Amino acid sequence: QVQLQESGPGLVMPSQTLSLTCTVSGDFINSAGYHWSWVRQPAGKGLEWIGHTYTNGNINFNPSLKSRLTISLDMSKNQFSLKLSSVTAADTAVYYCATYFEGYGGQGHWGQGTLVTVSS
């Protein structure tokens, strides 16, 4: 059973870079077929897909965030990470990491989520 855990600063200054890490247990991050994704949810609002990366390193981004976004894998630590630059208050949200297995048709495993607030 794959388990995910987000970690990172809960407060980020405006115009700075938001950095989060998702630690994976129960399987290896370089296992074939996995897509490792990020989703966020502002308070009281719906879910927004941010982007996902494959084990081969290919990445797909939400077009509205693409210019500010980096997603990467760290095989040595069994982690994947999210970096969102030039943040504003609109980036304040609960951030989730999640898995998608190729051909499954649903994101089956989720982290518990971590709140990131953008404020000075």
Partner 1 sequence: DIQMTQSPSTLSASVGDRVTITCRASQTLNNWLAWYQQKPGKAPKLLIYKASNLESGVPSRFSGSGSGTEFTLTISSLQPDDFATYYCQQFNSYSWTFGQGTKVDVK
Interface residue list for partner 1 (CB under 8 A): 37, 39, 46-49, 52, 60-63, 96, 98, 100, 104-108, 110-113
Q: Is 68 helix (H, G, I), strand (E, B) or coil?
A: helix
CB of 100 to partner 1, least distance (A): 7
DSSP code, position 66: G
Distances (CA, A) of 105 to 28, 39, 109: 20, 16, 12
DSSP code, position 27: S
Question: Residue 39 phi/psi, 5° resolution?
Answer: -135, 145
66 versus 77: smaller Cβ distance to partner 1 = 66
32 versus 75: smaller Cβ distance to partner 1 = 32
Amino acid code (one letter) for 75: M
How far apart, in whole angstroms, are the C-alpha atoms of residue 23 and residue 59?
18
CB of 15 to partner 1, least distance (A): 26
Tell me the pairing of strands 114-118 and 11-12. parallel
75 versus 115: smaller Cβ distance to partner 1 = 115
CB of 63 to partner 1, least distance (A): 6
CB of 49 to partner 1, least distance (A): 4
13 versus 47: smaller Cβ distance to partner 1 = 47
